Structure 1
């Protein structure tokens, strides 16, 4: 007897139970599957030969059961189309006490200017598909295995070249760890820092709450450093006696939008060297600088004291779940071990596609195109505010995908409420404020990179109505 039956046909889970015979039991099981909706109208069933082999019964038994169910109207059978569940079969009975279908909430925003997301409609689908095809064709067999916890060597090699060229990062493939975005990287770092008996990680007084929560969930305290017009006041790190690391956004402080002053960059590195601490550099939108050359990565000042973190979330799309760390040599094996244990990483084919996309020059072309698009939006925002809301001061606009609109005291909550009435979702600076922050500014954080081109004009007009 051969086992050819295992290689043909579609699978169907069915249990022809009952005491009335195999044919009757099979018919009852099929009727029940259709009646309850497990087999939906139009579903193609296995051939009688396949199902008979799967169930270990005679083919004639299945064929007869199919024929009777066709006659009863449960199934249809056409030449070339096979046997399918009839579209006029009895509908699934409604669930008991089913709640009424939920309606969308009233006043759901028509537009969003929340920060943190690029224009997703501009994802380069055609170029990405070309890169994916080339990557899949050239993929070695080992790409379909579990692989190196550091990530595919092809991507790490391309990243080392790109980061050195575009961001001034000192890197080689052996010290790059590919991860599933910034959150994944921060989870790994939190775990490693706790193993190293670090008690505190200093953070900026304005930052993302999800990042601080990840650190506290790792068992780390998070004292904050004040932020002013020159960036984070890193000179105050020396007063934090138990801090073993600091999380910074030096190229474009998030969300206030100011770059870290050169003296403060040097002060952060001096602190790390003097104390053995680590700087965690979040370079979340370093490619998008408009008025002059991009500010180079802080990592270039001391690659052995800085962990550089970047992602494709702003330059391409957050849904790719692709990020990377460039780590000091002394940490590389430890972080790779922590990552290997979690086994949470982007797929090998996605990594190979990004490697091909970058190596072909498509990534550089896309970034340049988006840089021009976002700069035009920024300029439109600034010009429109100058014309229709000249009392609003705009800051943090030299780079990135968002701007900060300064408001008078007590104005932030009022403007957010007014925006909601206009169908516009916005966030205030208070959303990003550390609980221990001393300076409490009133401002809006406007993500002008978020809307699609078709929604941008409406979103801008709604904002102007609120502020004017």
Structure 2
């Protein structure tokens, strides 16, 4: 065979033999060299490349050991592998197909750029801190658990010992930890509700039972369930606050059936009409597993949250996490500790509440002539009830303007509700104005 199409870089830190083997390997993988092709002898290849023969021999020996080449006595060295199959290139998605759209997401927060200095300071402290020598406490950084326990008591009326707080890699991770130790049985999830909770329960091998989101859950609705996943402070996505009587009924049903209530308290601190509603867990620590998250104040990419299990399963959760090493990343925990200590999260929430209140009013001004609000606005989104054909018209108009508008029906499993869910946290003011102008036009405004 003629010389191989390879080029060695003598200025590279990689040894010449490693460079040669990597390039020949790539030629085979891409199909440039095919099974059965004869390669130049090591003497000829070395002379062509201007290197010692030992360089070529080292490369051939390595590739032969890996199965890419085979040596035949008296005949030479041949390619022994097929090209690596490569998937066909995916067609580019056009804007009309959903690619490149700005999503009006219900879960992306607005963070005042004036708070960037505090964010950078937290990560500088992480870089200067000494990480643990091995795996950390399976329940999380002890200092962070102290800070979270203080915060839960101050902001949610939930008085717990720091040892009862488990740091997680977000809400779904905490839910997954809990499902791993609950007795067998199906899990009830609000409908419409949080799709990630449904997916997490099913991935854990649990059947999912739909719990009507605006109904009172009594003993009959929880019978046979291992747990019931609810969002009582701000039902996702309808926005309803669970009434006091319904809260007491749910706790009574939990005690009667043994089903653990899983409270996802994802954005309770973002109310701007009244003070935050106290946590359900504050009424029934023995029956409620409390899930919290930093993703509605800090960037969601931090992937950090917390779980306060009922006392009866706390030790089981800790043992499970110790076995599977399901511990949140130490740098993220350390950064959150600084953000809490410096008051960064509180400052972010204060400014975000003012922005969300103003944006919610702008959304209402456009949607109110055409739709019915599902509940009083709170947090970083509002939900509007519409016939499905009108909701589809609004979404299509938003898409033409470059925005992805979620449909309420996409969050339903058996519930019949239709409408749109307008998230306004993860966009700029200018983007929100453009989106609302398109939605209003799509609704005939």
Question: Where on the TM-score scale, by shorter chain, does this alignment land: which range?
Answer: 0.7 to 0.9
2:121 pairs, out of 124, 130, 140, with: 130
1:238 pairs, out of 217, 220, 223, with: 220
Partner of residue 463, structure 1? 439
Of the structure 1 ranges 414-423 and 306-315, higher mean CA displacement relative to structure 2 is found in 414-423
Q: Tell me the SS of whatever aligns to 1:247.
A: strand
d(CA) in 2 for partners of 1:450 and 1:292? Answer: 23
d(CA) in 1 for partners of 2:12 and 2:153? Answer: 51
d(CA) in 2 for partners of 1:342 and 1:117? Answer: 30
Partner of residue 200, structure 2? 214
Partner of residue 299, structure 1? 281
Q: Tell me the SS of whatever aligns to 2:261.
A: strand
Q: 1:319 to 1:23 in 2, by over 3 A?
A: same
Partner of residue 12, structure 1? 14
Partner of residue 6, structure 2? none
d(CA) in 2 for partners of 1:256 and 1:182? Answer: 19
Residues 337-416 of structure 1: pairs in structure 2 closer than 5 A: 337-386=319-368, 390-408=369-387, 410-416=389-395
Per-residue deviation, 1:154: 1.2
Uncovered stretches (5+) of structure 2, i.e. residues with no partner: 1-10, 21-41, 60-83
Q: 1:27 to 1:372 in 2, by over 3 A?
A: farther
Partner of residue 24, structure 1? 51
d(CA) in 2 for partners of 1:156 and 1:418? Answer: 46
2:103 pairs, out of 73, 89, 112, with: 112
Partner of residue 138, structure 2? 149
Of the structure 1 ranges 128-137 and 426-435, higher mean CA displacement relative to structure 2 is found in 128-137
1:284 pairs, out of 227, 247, 266, with: 266
The two structures have a TM-score, normalised by structure 1, of 0.74
d(CA) in 2 for partners of 1:344 and 1:189? Answer: 12
Of the structure 1 ranges 368-377 and 118-127, higher mean CA displacement relative to structure 2 is found in 118-127
1:145-165: CA deviation from partner (whole Å, max 9, x where unpaired): 311110101111100000110
d(CA) in 2 for partners of 1:142 and 1:122? Answer: 29
Contact persistence 1:248–1:281 (CA under 8 A): yes
2:167 pairs, out of 149, 163, 178, with: 178
Partner of residue 152, structure 2? 163
Q: Tell me the SS of whatever aligns to 1:337.
A: helix
Partner of residue 27, structure 2? none
d(CA) in 1 for partners of 2:201 and 2:114? Answer: 31
Alignment RMSD, CA only? 2.9
Per-residue deviation, 1:201: 1.4
d(CA) in 1 for partners of 2:408 and 2:438? Answer: 19
User: Does 1:188 find its partner at 2:177?
Assistant: yes
Per-residue deviation, 1:394: 2.3
1:281-337: CA deviation from partner (whole Å, max 9, x where unpaired): 001111100111110110000112111101111111210011110112221121122
Partner of residue 47, structure 1? none
Per-residue deviation, 1:123: 9.0
Q: 1:104 to 1:119 in 2, by over 3 A?
A: farther
d(CA) in 1 for partners of 2:242 and 2:387? Answer: 25
Contact persistence 1:199–1:243 (CA under 8 A): yes
User: Does 1:252 find its partner at 2:214?
Assistant: no
Per-residue deviation, 1:135: 4.5
d(CA) in 2 for partners of 1:414 and 1:285? Answer: 29
d(CA) in 2 for partners of 1:276 and 1:242? Answer: 9
Q: Tell me the SS of whatever aligns to 1:405.
A: strand
Per-residue deviation, 1:28: 7.2
Uncovered stretches (5+) of structure 1, i.e. residues with no partner: 1-8, 33-94
Partner of residue 67, structure 2? none
Partner of residue 434, structure 1? 413
d(CA) in 1 for partners of 2:94 and 2:131? Answer: 49
1:329-358: CA deviation from partner (whole Å, max 9, x where unpaired): 221121122222332433212211111110
d(CA) in 1 for partners of 2:101 and 2:335? Answer: 35
d(CA) in 1 for partners of 2:53 and 2:299? Answer: 49
Per-residue deviation, 1:182: 1.1
The two structures have a TM-score, normalised by structure 2, of 0.78
Q: 1:225 to 1:101 in 2, by over 3 A?
A: closer
Contact persistence 2:222–2:228 (CA under 8 A): no
Per-residue deviation, 1:461: 1.8
Contact persistence 1:170–1:299 (CA under 8 A): no
User: Does 1:420 find its partner at 2:393?
Assistant: no
Partner of residue 44, structure 1? none
Counting matched residue pairs gives 381
Per-residue deviation, 1:186: 1.6
d(CA) in 2 for partners of 1:272 and 1:163? Answer: 23
User: Does 1:444 find its partner at 2:435?
Assistant: no
1:235-288: CA deviation from partner (whole Å, max 9, x where unpaired): 3x4344211211000000000001001100111111122233211000111110
